[in-house]
Amino acid sequence: MPGPKTHDIFYKQLKKNLSAQTLAVFPHYDQYNIFAQGHDFLIYHDFYKIWSSKKLNNNINASVLLQETNFQLFVYNYLKQAHSSGALEEEQVRLFIGPGYIMHHLLDAYLHPLIIYYAGDHTPDATFDTWHHGCVENLIDIYMMKHIEKKDPNHYPVYHDFTLPKTIISNSLIQTLNDCLRETYALVSGGEIFYESFYQMALFMKIFKYDHYGIKKKIFDKVDPIYHGASSFSYHRDVELAIPFLNQKREEWVNPYDASLHFYYTFMDLYEMALIRGAYIIEELEKICMSGNIYKDDIYDLIPDVNSVTGLSCEKHVKLLNRKQWDFMPKLF
């Protein structure tokens, strides 16, 4: 994951890149921005219980499966199930998989190599005094809010952007998710987990990110040495702290898992590339859904085989080798 707000903004910006024809079949696009959280719903699920390390580990393990394995197969299974049950006719069932789930995964795959190169692994590393990755993604959320949405991240009641009306999710979406999560990942009741998580997100944002007076920031930073990663919470932070991680000077960097892949892209370059590629995928996916023929080959041609952490193929099992973090770490809080 980049942070929840970065994904939310991406969903909203993607809309501006879609054709009038595609938007005509998504009249309720704006109501379903919560879908932008994609596989991260498994991490946020019952977030108030994750003080129990068993629950936390369950959440992480389930979400890692979705992030790192069988992405194309999952998308195919979802579409196949939804097509055979008739659910694919429903706007929200298509909004979930395309602009929601696939776009979340795609944005992750574009941004994560840069974030991990600059700020380290998405799982906390005990050799460092804090969880740089999470802290940086939190700062980037703030940067995106300020520069793209023109909102004041320190005071804006951000949980409003994550509030979903109670009656809006259809049973066919839950059923489709149940079926394809079981089929692809052997995950039981996955649809119910996603469903509950949709409605828990606003409270998560209210408790952990919204921080009008900056009091929570002080507390989170104080307990960060004990609970590594506490400083990845609170949007009441200095937006300038995000700048060193955006590579605005276009320095050379490498994929953290494969040093033969060199880049000069900035964070925003990658974000824009994901928007363009993403809009293309959504347009083509709609054509496939409308055609009434869900063929595995078509789906595999359109949906990249990509691990959302490494940006490389899901088949490649790789180790984190290259990090700027080892000799450089600007102030995070």
- Tokens representing 232 are 């990845």
State how far the Cα of 60 lies from the Cα of 51, in Å rounded to an integer. Answer: 13
Binding segment (CB under 5 A) for Zn ion, from list 119-127, 144-152, 174-182, 295-303: 119-127
What angle (nearest 5°) sits at the alpha carbon of residue 65, between those of residues 14 and 231?
70
- Tokens representing 104 are 């979340």
Counting contacts by CB under 5 A, is residue 104 touching Zn ion?
A: no
Using the minimum distance from each CB to Zn ion, give the nearer residue, 5 or 83.
Answer: 5
Counting contacts by CB under 5 A, is residue 1 touching Zn ion?
A: yes
Shortest Å distance, C-beta 140 to Zn ion: 10
Using the minimum distance from each CB to Zn ion, give the nearer residue, 7 or 122.
Answer: 122
Strand partners, 33: none
Shortest Å distance, C-beta 49 to Zn ion: 22
Binding segment (CB under 5 A) for Zn ion, from list 122-130, 182-190, 243-251, 263-271: 122-130
HEC-encoded secondary structure of 162-213: HCCCCCCCCHHHHHHHHHHHHHHHCCCCHHHHHHHHHHHHHHHHHHHHCCCC
| Helix axes of 132-147 and 103-119: crossing angle, nearest 10 degrees | 120
Using the minimum distance from each CB to Zn ion, give the nearer residue, 3 or 100.
Answer: 3
Shortest Å distance, C-beta 139 to Zn ion: 12
Give the ranges where 53-131 is alpha helix by DSSP (H).
Answer: 53-68, 71-85, 91-95, 103-119
Using the minimum distance from each CB to Zn ion, give the nearer residue, 126 or 186.
Answer: 126
Using the minimum distance from each CB to Zn ion, give the nearer residue, 87 or 314.
Answer: 314
Counting contacts by CB under 5 A, is residue 132 touching Zn ion?
A: no
| Coil/strand/helix, residue 262 | strand
Which of 122, 209, 216, 228 is close enough to bind Zn ion by CB under 5 A?
A: 122
Size of the site for Zn ion (CB under 5 A): 2
Binding segment (CB under 5 A) for Zn ion, from list 120-128, 235-243, 265-273, 312-320: 120-128
Binding segment (CB under 5 A) for Zn ion, from list 22-30, 41-49, 115-123, 231-239: 115-123
- Tokens representing 140 are 């980037």
State how far the Cα of 283 lies from the Cα of 18, in Å rounded to an integer. Answer: 7
State how far the Cα of 100 lies from the Cα of 7, in Å rounded to an integer. Answer: 9
Shortest Å distance, C-beta 122 to Zn ion: 4
Using the minimum distance from each CB to Zn ion, give the nearer residue, 190 or 311.
Answer: 311
Binding site for Zn ion (CB under 5 A): 1, 122
